[in-house]
């Protein structure tokens, strides 16, 4: 069974940093692209960042480009999102997702509050 | 970025009756490999999203057959043949053909 477990969310001040992690089990992690998708309170879904199987290709939404960095450790089956220069508008639940042309499995999400 | 436009944004339905959600993209979702990467997701209240349909019309494992997807090019539809109480939630279309992937605004399905 595919399981994705996010951690690292919390309350941070504007301009601060947070690092999110996602522990993946139940599938061959190194064979799949991965993504982060966020959902602001009461709002819709926004794709934030994606990474290829080996981590050599990364992609970012314009809203986070230059501030967020996605990475993965295939030896530990872990996906990460380093978030710097946080803004109030980054407040959201952040979901880790197994991804091929769109998320097929999602984690339970971790809440990031910037205030 | 490709804009995904859903309608309606709110859909009150009677139990046992059909429901239909439209999703239109600002450009064709046919990929160079011949596939059309159009997904549908369901998000029940308080839960993470769950994929229902991939590549326009393929149901994910465990998805009831009352859910069906159709369409081509830029126009797509999700249909629920007979709405049940557990279908309440928000439904999103999402395209994975063009980078970055983009979601529709969401359609809230509720019981009348």
Of A61, A101, A105, the CB nearest to B37: A101
Radius of gyration of chain A (CA): 13
Helices (H) and strands (E) in chain A, counts: 0, 11
Q: CB distance from B108 to chain A under 8 Å?
A: no
Q: Under an 8 A CB cutoff, do B96 and A100 touch?
A: yes
Contacts of A45 in chain B (CB under 8 A): 41, 43, 49, 92, 94, 103, 106
Closest chain A residue to B31, measured at CA: A101
pLDDT tens for each residue of B10-66: 999 999 999 999 999 999 999 999 999 999 999 999 999 999 999 999 999 999 999
Asked whether the beta carbons of B4 and B103 are under 8 A apart, the reply is: yes
Contacts of A63 in chain B (CB under 8 A): none
- Residue A21 has a CB neighbour count (10 Å cut-off) of 17
Reported confidence tier of residue B107, pLDDT bands at 50, 70, 90: very high
Pick from A17, A22, A40: nearest CA to A107? A22
Contacts of A42 in chain B (CB under 8 A): none
Of A100, A102, A109, the CB nearest to B94: A102
- Report pLDDT for A96: 98
Q: CB distance from B67 to chain A under 8 Å?
A: no
- Report pLDDT for A53: 96
3-state DSSP call for residue B46? coil
pLDDT tens for each residue of A23-69: 999 999 999 999 999 999 999 999 999 999 999 999 999 999 999 99
Q: CB distance from A103 to chain B under 8 Å?
A: yes
- Mutation choice for A interface testing from B43, B98, B101, B102 by most A CBs within 10 A: B101
Element (H, E) at B42: strand B38-43
Write the Ramachandran bin of B97: left for phi over 0, alpha for psi from -120 to 50, otherwise beta. Answer: alpha
């Amino acid at each position: 069974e595919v399981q994705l477990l996010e951690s690292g969310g919390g309350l941070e001040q504007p301009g601060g940093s947070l690092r999110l992690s996602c522990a993946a089990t139940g599938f061959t992690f190194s064979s799949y692209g991965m993504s982060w998708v966020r959902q602001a309170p009461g709002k819709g879904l926004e794709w934030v960042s994606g990474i290829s199987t080996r981590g050599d290709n990364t992609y970012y939404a314009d809203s986070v480009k230059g501030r967020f960095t996605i990475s993965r450790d295939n030896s530990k089956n872990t996906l990460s999102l380093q978030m710097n220069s946080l803004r109030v508008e980054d407040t959201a639940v952040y979901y880790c997702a197994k991804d091929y042309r769109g998320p097929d499995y999602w984690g339970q999400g971790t809440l990031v509050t910037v205030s | 970025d490709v804009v995904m436009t859903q309608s309606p944004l709110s859909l009150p339905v009677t139990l046992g009756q059909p429901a239909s959600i439209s999703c239109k993209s600002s450009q064709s979702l046919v990929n160079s490999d011949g596939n059309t990467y159009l997904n549908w997701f369901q998000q029940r209240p308080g839960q993470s999203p769950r994929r229902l349909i991939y590549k326009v019309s393929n149901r994910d494992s465990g998805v009831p057959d009352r859910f069906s997807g159709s369409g081509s090019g830029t126009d797509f539809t999700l249909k629920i043949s007979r709405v049940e109480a557990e279908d309440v939630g928000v439904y999103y279309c999402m395209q994975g053909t063009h980078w970055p992937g983009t979601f529709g605004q969401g359609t809230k399905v509720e019981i009348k």
